[in-house]
Every structure is written in C-alpha cells, then in structure tokens.
Amino acid sequence: MGGKVVCCSVSELNAYLQVGINATYINNGTWVEDKIQKIRAGRKEKFRIITSGRIISQKNPFLFNNIACYFNEFDQFEFVWAGDGEDREILAAKNITVTGWLNEKEIKKLVIGSNMYLSTARYEGLSYGVLEALTLNKPVLLSQCIGNMDVVKHGINGDLFKTESEAIVKILQYYNNRDMLRVMGDFSKSICETEFNVKLNFSYYRELYANTFNSIIPGKKWALA
C-alpha cells in the first residue's frame, strides 16, 4: 500500500525527516469554544499543579514524583495526576493525588481549578491533555521533548525544562508571580485558537485527502461534502 505519512506536530515531522521518511504534518487539535468556560470549579487555597493521562513510563511519573517530593514540606503546594495506569505506585509523594479515571467534565473542573499544567513526558506526538489545558487558559510547563516543544512560546504561555531542578525553579517563579500566570493563560488559549483548533485541522485533512485522491486517479474529481 502506498500513501502519505502525516505527523501530528512539527517536531514529530522533523524526527521522521531525520531518519529519511518523507512526511508532512497537520497539528493535532481540540475544540476551542467559549461554552467550555461555563464549567466552573472553585480554586483551592493551595497552588495546584496538574497533569493528566495514563501513568506509564512514556509520561515519566518518576520525574513527576521527584518534582513533587521537593515541595513535600511546603503545605501551599499540591500535585494532581488525573488518570491511572500500570506505574501508579511510582507516584508516592505525600502531596500527590491520583484521581483514577474521570469523565471529561470532571477533568476539566480539576484543570480549571489548577494554577498550571505540568508535563514530564519523555516524548509525545502532540498531547491532547496539554491542548485541553491551553483551551482552559492554563500556563504550561513541559518537558523539552518531541511534541511538547511545539506548544510552548517561551515565557509567553509557559516554558520548557530539561531537568528536574529547572522545573522546580520555574514552579517557584510561577508561584511568586500569580498575575503573570493569568496573562500566560490568556495567551495559551489564543495560541490554541490559531494553531491547534480542530475545526481548522479538519479542513486541512479534508484538503489533503482530496488532493491525494485526485493525484492518484487522474481526471477523477472528488466532491467535498
């Protein structure tokens, strides 16, 4: 079978090209609508850092746990992992709450009630959890890896980090600059609207499929619904 390889982010595309695989890309996207802002969740007194997804090696729960451990003696911080998985026992720090699997509305309530979104992943395609955080006006602190690096505008809507200590320093900076977090959160949603909006990305896929079919079957016209 022939066909096209379509990556879901620029950095994933570059990884394919580096190993000699010809490809193109269309960003993953999510719905960006004002109606999701109708979900409300009271913000807790503590500074909440949240992530979501399966608790597996690829998401690096070991690093998440180590970062949380640094803040064990600071009562004003809490860490939440919304999800579950085979490596759940790694998240042993006393200030981490593992919620188990939740429905979409419950997770959005948790994210809205959080101060920032943290990803410790070793690699991504382009994380839907991160994209959802952008739509909910959250600044993001993400490990510097394929997928994550496409989402962050440095210092505008968040930051990338390479090491545990870098992540800790950034969290402390965010904690001490709450007004900055609100501004960064607004930029997060704006970036998602322009670059990771599923409505736009659907149209790109429709155009790609139509052009591909037309090139495979000369003279054949494919109508888009």
What phi and psi values does residue 164 have, to the nearest 5 degrees? Answer: -60, -45
Average pLDDT over residues 14-41: 80
Q: What is the pLDDT of residue 168?
A: 98
pLDDT: which is higher, 40 or 47: 47
Task: Report the DSSP beta bridge partners of residue 214.
Answer: none
pLDDT tens track for 48-88: 999 999 999 999 999 999 999 999 999 999 999 999 999 99
Q: What CA–CA distance (Å, rounded) separates 83 from 80?
A: 9
CATH fold of the domain at 34-195: Rossmann fold (3.40.50)
Q: Give, in degrees to the nearest 5, the angle at Cα 12 between 2 and 24.
A: 40
Q: What CA–CA distance (Å, rounded) separates 154 from 210?
A: 36
Pick the closest to residue 96 from 124, 57, 62 (CA basis).
62
pLDDT: which is higher, 3 or 158: 158
Q: What is the pLDDT of residue 181?
A: 94
What phi and psi values does residue 82 have, to the nearest 5 degrees? Answer: -90, 105
